[in-house]
Amino acid sequence: MKDCIVVIAQHAHGRTDPVTYESLACAWALCGGDESRIRVMVAGDPGQAVARELAAATGFTVTAVENDGLGDYNADAYLRALGPILAGMAPGYVIMPHTCFGYDLAPALAVRLGAACITAAEAARMNGGKAVFVRTASGGKLSTEVVPETDIVVLTNQPGAWKPLDNKMGTGGTVETVRSDAGPVRSRTVGFKQPEYRGNALAESSVVVAAGRGIGTRENLALIDDIARLFPRSAVGCSRAVCDAGWLGYAHQVGMTGATVSPKLYIAIGISGAVQHVAGIRDAQTVIAINNDPAARIFARADYGIVEDLTRFIPVLIEEYNKRYGTPQEA
């Protein structure tokens, strides 16, 4: 099929990963309303179940790729199984999420297909009939626009950037099965280990006070606790940088690979606002950001912004609060 748009589904434990619906939204934006151009591809186990789920939810034609070596995701196996099928389809775009799945597979697939590889696309716009993709650089401070120069484009969509496709856009919804003879693979995935359940307290709290690398030291978490104590149903969250530094456990991480939170109030302190972090607070009702860099990307998401050194601002805030209302324990 010429110029079709193929979405490669990400799935685990027999369910479609929600981020796949964001890839589908990206595909929908590119197809110009022509549903017949969209094909969804499911590889790995249990491909059939996931393919049926996706076909029913989207109405698109879904191809379940079966191969004995497929099982859990493995770049080598996926590449060998999907590469020849995709080459035969000559798609205009092959889209997958920019997750550890997508950024592992996409570049290798692009090489295999002789395609441009555009990663972490956050938006697409048409310019003179050509698609222009927007992606960020320099930790979110720059926005770049990329135009592919090849007929085939392998694209990864930045999680959180595209509103998931939540309507049945297709009118078909059939599943077809394709056997792929991938031959022997060079490595095998032996399984996935589920991290401890993240963010129970985060999910239940109406206020989340989150620390970023900008707090500077583990000791400054006391400042975050001071703010969290002002609210009865609050929890402390953080960016991945804070977890990576070992200042807080990964159960506190908010974002694409952490918890998704939807509190009434989210206070981002010393957090730059990387798209992976902001993906986790899309449904927060009100966002306040405290950051000493007026150009920090978090201010684009914030409803209220405080441009100040957090180590100066928070003690003054607490002191003022205590003067007016007494300490939180007395309140």
Ligand X SMILES: Cc1cc2nc3c(=O)[nH]c(=O)nc-3n(C[C@H](O)[C@H](O)[C@H](O)COP(=O)(O)OP(=O)(O)OC[C@H]3O[C@@H](n4cnc5c(N)ncnc54)[C@H](O)[C@@H]3O)c2cc1C
As to burial, measured by CB atoms within 10 angstroms (0-12 exposed, 13-18 middle, 19+ buried), residue 208 is buried
Q: Does 214 bind ligand X (CB under 6 A)?
A: yes
Residue of 29, 79, 296, 317 that binds ligand X (CB under 6 A)? 296
Q: Is 10 in the site for ligand X (CB under 6 A)?
A: no
Q: How far is the CB of 39 from ligand X (least distance, A)?
A: 26
The answer to whether residue 189 forms part of the interface with ligand X (CB under 6 A) is: no
The CA distance from 68 to 183, in Å, is 9
Q: In what order do the strands lie in the sheet with 5-8?
A: 116-121, 153-157, 93-97, 5-8, 38-43, 61-66, 175-179
- The residues, ordered by sequence, that sit 6+ positions from 277 with a Cβ below 8 Å of its Cβ are 212, 239, 240, 254, 255, 256, 268, 271
Among 274, 281, 287, 314, binds ligand X (CB under 6 A): 274
* 135 strand-pairing partners: 144
Stretch that binds ligand X, among 9-17, 128-136, 162-170, 285-293 (CB under 6 A): 285-293
Q: What dihedral angle (degrees, nearest 10) is formed by the CA atoms of 82, 117, 160, 96? A: -10
- Binding segment for ligand X (CB under 6 A), chosen from 45-53, 62-70, 130-138, 290-298, is 290-298
Give, in degrees to the nearest 5, the angle at Cα 192 between 188 and 193: 145
What is the per-residue DSSP string for 258-310? SB----SEEEEES----HHHHGGGTT-SEEEEEES-TT-THHHH-SEEEES-H
Packing angle of the helix pair 19-30, 47-58 (nearest 10 deg): 50
Three-state secondary structure call for residue 114: coil
291 binds ligand X (CB under 6 A): yes
Listed ranges 83-91, 166-174, 182-190, 287-295: which one lies at the site for ligand X (CB under 6 A): 287-295
Q: Which residue number, 82 or 271, has a Cβ lying nearer to ligand X? A: 271
> Which residue in 44, 160, 270, 305 binds ligand X (CB under 6 A)?
270
CA torsion angle 21 23 24 30 (round to 10): 150
In 3D, which of 37, 32, 12 has the Cα closest to residue 189? 12
Q: Closest CB to ligand X among 81 and 261? A: 261
Asked if 257 touches ligand X (CB under 6 A), the answer is yes
- Tell me the closest approach of the beta carbon of residue 196 to ligand X, in angstroms: 15
At its nearest, how many Å lie between ligand X and the CB of residue 19? Answer: 11
Question: Does residue 64 belong to the site contacting ligand X (CB under 6 A)?
Answer: no
Distance CA 205, CA 236 (A): 9
CB closer to ligand X out of 172 and 195: 195
Task: Determine contact, residues 207/93, Cβ cutoff 8 Å.
Answer: no
Asked if 310 interacts with ligand X (CB under 6 A), we say: yes
How many angstroms separate the CA atoms of 204 and 228, rounded?
Answer: 14
| Subset of residues 129 to 158 that bind ligand X, contact rule: CB under 6 A | 139
Q: Which is nearer to ligand X, 67 or 239 (CB)?
A: 239
Looking at 91, 102, 148, 258, which residue binds ligand X (CB under 6 A)?
A: 258
CB of 282 to ligand X, least distance (A): 12
Return the range that interacts with ligand X (CB under 6 A); candidates 76-84, 129-137, 264-272, 321-329.
264-272
Where does this chain touch ligand X (CB under 6 A) — which range of 87-95, 197-205, 208-216, 224-232? 208-216
Q: Is 271 in the site for ligand X (CB under 6 A)?
A: yes
Residues lying near ligand X in the complex (CB under 6 A) are found at 139, 212-214, 239-242, 253, 255-258, 270-272, 274, 276-277, 280, 290-293, 296, 309-311
